[in-house]
Amino acid sequence: MSRVLSGKPYVSDALRQRVLETIRELDYRPSRVARSLRVQRSRIIGLIISDIQNPFFTSVVRAVEDVAQQRGYAVFLCNSDEDVDKESTYIELMLAEQVAGMIVSPTASSNEVYRRLVEQRVPVVAIDRRVDGVPMDTVVSDNVHAACAVVSHLIENGYRRIGAILGVPGASTGAERHQGYVTALAHHGVPLLPELVRSGLPRSQNGYELTLELLAQSQPPDAIFTGNNLLTIGALRAIHEAGLGIPDDVALAGFDEMDWMFLVKPALTVVMQPAYEMGQRAAELLLERIVDPDRAPQAVVLQSTVKVRESSRRAAMRA
Amino acid sequence: MSRVLSGKPYVSDALRQRVLETIRELDYRPSRVARSLRVQRSRIIGLIISDIQNPFFTSVVRAVEDVAQQRGYAVFLCNSDEDVDKESTYIELMLAEQVAGMIVSPTASSNEVYRRLVEQRVPVVAIDRRVDGVPMDTVVSDNVHAACAVVSHLIENGYRRIGAILGVPGASTGAERHQGYVTALAHHGVPLLPELVRSGLPRSQNGYELTLELLAQSQPPDAIFTGNNLLTIGALRAIHEAGLGIPDDVALAGFDEMDWMFLVKPALTVVMQPAYEMGQRAAELLLERIVDPDRAPQAVVLQSTVKVRESSRRAAMRA
DNA sequence: CTGTTAGCGCCTTCAG
DNA sequence: CTGAAGGCGCTAACAG
Q: How many domains are contained in chain B?
A: 3
- Answer yes or no: do B83 and B187 share one domain: no
Provide the pLDDT confidence category of residue A211 given band limits of 50, 70 and 90: very high
- Answer yes or no: do B191 and B313 share one domain: yes
- Answer yes or no: do A83 and A15 share one domain: no
Lowest average pLDDT, out of A208-217, B103-112, B203-212, goes to B103-112
- Answer yes or no: do A233 and A103 share one domain: no
Q: Percent of chain B, pLDDT > 90? A: 55
| Per-residue pLDDT tens over the stretch B97-136 | 889 999 999 998 888 899 989 988 899 999 999 999 999 9
| pLDDT top residue among A317 and A264 | A264
Rounded alpha-carbon distances, angstroms, from residue A181 to A40, A143, A147: 47, 10, 6
- Please give the Cα distance from B190 to B159 (Å, whole number): 10
Lowest average pLDDT, out of B3-7, B53-57, B149-153, goes to B3-7
| Per-residue pLDDT tens over the stretch B69-104 | 888 888 888 899 899 988 998 898 888 888 999 999
CB contact under 8 A, A265 and B240: yes
**Ramachandran category for residue A128: left, alpha or beta (phi over 0 → left; psi -120 to 50 → alpha):** left
- Answer yes or no: do A24 and A76 share one domain: no
- Please give the Cα distance from B135 to B141 (Å, whole number): 18
Dihedral pair phi/psi, residue A234, rounded to 5°: -65, -40
Q: Percent of chain A, pLDDT > 90? A: 54
| pLDDT top residue among A170 and B223 | B223
- Any residues with CB less than 8 A from the CB of A317 and at least 6 apart, and which? A158
**Ramachandran category for residue B24: left, alpha or beta (phi over 0 → left; psi -120 to 50 → alpha):** alpha
Residue B251: name the closest of B210, B171, B199, B311 by CA: B311
> What is the pLDDT, as a whole number, of residue B243?
86
- Answer yes or no: do A268 and A218 share one domain: yes
Q: Indicate the Cα dihedral angle B172, B174, B175, B179, nearest 10°.
A: 130
Provide the pLDDT confidence category of residue B310 given band limits of 50, 70 and 90: low
CB pairs under 8 A between A and B: 95
> What's the whole-model pTM score?
0.88
Contacts of B81 in chain A (CB under 8 A): 62
Span B149-159, average pLDDT: 91
- The answer to whether the CB of A61 falls within 8 A of the CB of B61 is no
- The C-alpha angle with vertex A287 and arms to A282 and A135, in degrees rounded to 5, equals 60
Contacts of B65 in chain A (CB under 8 A): 78-79
User: In this structure, are strands B124-127 and A251-255 parallel, antiparallel, or unpaired?
Assistant: unpaired
Span A163-177, average pLDDT: 92
> What is the pLDDT, as a whole number, of residue A312?
46
Which residues are paired to B223 by β-bridges? B162, B251
Kindly tell me if the per-residue pLDDT of A3 is higher than 80: no
| Per-residue pLDDT tens over the stretch A38-51 | 888 888 899 999 99
- Any residues with CB less than 8 A from the CB of A309 and at least 6 apart, and which? A262, A265, A267, A268, A269
Dihedral pair phi/psi, residue B300, rounded to 5°: -105, 130
Which nucleotide is nearest, taking the CA of residue B2 and each C1'?
Answer: D11
Which residues are paired to A124 by β-bridges? A102
Distance measured from the CA of protein residue A149 to the C1' of nucleotide D4, in angstroms? 69
Rounded alpha-carbon distances, angstroms, from residue A285 to A57, A194, A314, B21, B53: 18, 40, 47, 38, 24
- The answer to whether the CB of B100 falls within 8 A of the CB of B71 is no
The full 3-state SS of A268-291, as one line of letters, equals CEEEECCHHHHHHHHHHHHHHHHH
- Answer yes or no: do B239 and B166 share one domain: yes
Span A6-23, average pLDDT: 73
Dihedral pair phi/psi, residue B221, rounded to 5°: -70, 155
| pLDDT top residue among A245 and A195 | A195
Distance measured from the CA of protein residue A40 to the C1' of nucleotide D11, in angstroms? 19
User: Percentage helix, strand, coil, to 5, in chain B?
Assistant: 45, 20, 35
DSSP element (H, E) containing B152: helix B143-156
- Answer yes or no: do A161 and A126 share one domain: no
Provide the pLDDT confidence category of residue A282 given band limits of 50, 70 and 90: very high
| Per-residue pLDDT tens over the stretch A94-143 | 888 889 999 999 998 888 889 989 988 999 999 999 999 999 999 999 99
Q: What 3-state class would DSSP assign to A140?
A: strand
Q: What 3-state class would DSSP assign to B134?
A: coil
Span A17-30, average pLDDT: 79
Find, in chain A, the residue whose alpha carbon is nearest to that of B259. Answer: A237
- The answer to whether the CB of A36 falls within 8 A of the CB of A76 is no
Kindly tell me if the per-residue pLDDT of B205 is higher than 70: yes
Q: What 3-state class would DSSP assign to B305?
A: strand
CATH code of the domain in which A219 resides:
3.40.50.2300
User: Percentage helix, strand, coil, to 5, in chain A?
Assistant: 45, 20, 35
- Please give the Cα distance from B230 to B206 (Å, whole number): 9
Residue A59: name the closest of A303, A272, A298 by CA: A272
Span B138-160, average pLDDT: 94
- Where does residue B286 rank: exposed (0-12), middle (13-18), buried (19+ CB within 10 A)? buried
Minimum-distance CB partner of B264 among A78, A81, A264: A264
Taking each helix axis as running N to C, give the angle between helix B112-119 and helix B84-96, from 0 to 180 degrees, rounded to the nearest 10.
20
Residue B144: name the closest of B169, B192, B181, B198 by CA: B181
**Domain hosting residue A18, numbered range:** 1-30
| Ordered alpha helix ranges (H), A1-54 | 2-5, 13-26, 32-39
- Answer yes or no: do B218 and B246 share one domain: yes
Dihedral pair phi/psi, residue B17, rounded to 5°: -60, -45
Minimum-distance CB partner of B263 among A52, A75, A240: A240
- Inform me whether the C-beta atom of residue B244 falls under 8 Å from chain A C-beta atoms: no
Task: Report the 10 Å Cβ neighbour count for B304.
Answer: 21
Lowest average pLDDT, out of A13-27, B69-83, B102-116, B168-182, goes to A13-27
- The answer to whether the CB of B105 falls within 8 A of the CB of B128 is yes
Contacts of A34 in chain B (CB under 8 A): 37
Q: What 3-state class would DSSP assign to B11?
A: coil
Kindly tell me if the per-residue pLDDT of A164 is higher than 50: yes
Q: Which of residues 33-62 of A touch strand D (CB under 7 A)?
A: 34, 37-38, 40
Distance measured from the CA of protein residue A3 to the C1' of nucleotide D3, in angstroms? 12
- The C-alpha angle with vertex A206 and arms to B228 and A178, in degrees rounded to 5, equals 115
- Please give the Cα distance from B69 to B90 (Å, whole number): 22
- Answer yes or no: do A6 and A39 share one domain: no
- Answer yes or no: do A52 and A124 share one domain: yes
- Answer yes or no: do A220 and A253 share one domain: yes
